[in-house]
Structure 1
Amino acid sequence: MDLKKIDAPTSTTTYNRNAIDEETGNIYESISIISKRAEQINSEIKKELIEKLEEFATYNDSLEEIFENKEQIEVSKFYERLPKPHALAVKEWLDNKVYYRDTEADNQ
């Protein structure tokens, strides 16, 4: 996922209910799919952030030697400014970029 090319809103946005449930015909099913995608996005972002912060990690036994690392602060600020995972998931859903399947229909 390229986080620099994301155009999802960073603040609260009202969406058209009909656009959300257009794909499935059921608002609850659509929201369930979006929430599962948001969890996936959140874990991807968290994993990426931890990997980047590990580059700056210093392992000291002394608590007195705490110092600020400017690069680490910049990385953290970048991730704080990103849209929330649920906003990214809704944007992907509305752009038809989320793959899902109905397992109940597959079994019949």
Structure 2
Amino acid sequence: MDYKDTKAAISTVTYNRNLLEAPTENIYEAISIIAKRANQINEDLKKELVDKLEEFATYNDSLEEVFENKEQIEVSKFYERLPKPTALAVEEWLNDKVYHRNPEETV
């Protein structure tokens, strides 16, 4: 998923509790689902960042010296400016983009 073109809030936002719990009718279950999705998003972003930084990595025989080039710094700054994974997960939840099911419920 492309997290760069999202409309998620970059700063702290207060959400309507009723909107958050509406799909599950249980605020704790909704928060649990949002937290699991935020963990998935965080893993995806971390993997993507590491892959991009590896492209610019310069390897040395000396372990004491670590060189950072301008491209690595720019990539890192870009990812720091993205919304937090929890904000992305809440946005997906409120826009009904998160699939969830309760295995204990019988159909």
Q: Is the structural similarity TM-score above 0.5?
A: yes
Structure 1 counterpart of 2:26? 26
Instruction: Give ranges in structure 1 of 5+ residues lacking alignment.
Output: none
Scaled by the length of structure 1, what TM-score is found?
Answer: 0.92
Match runs of 1:1-108 below 5 Å: 1-62=1-62, 66-106=66-106
Task: Count matched residues.
Answer: 107
SS at match of 2:60: coil
Shift of 1:6: 1.0
Q: Which runs of no fewer than 5 residues in structure 2 stay unpaired?
A: none
Query: What is the root-mean-square deviation in Å for CA atoms of aligned residues?
Result: 1.4
Find runs of 4+ consecutive structure 1 residues off by over 4 angstroms. Answer: 63-66
- Alignment partners' CA distance in 1, 2:39 and 2:66: 33
Percent of matched pairs sharing the same residue: 70
Return the alpha-carbon distance in structure 2 between the equivalents of residues 64 and 39 of structure 1.
33
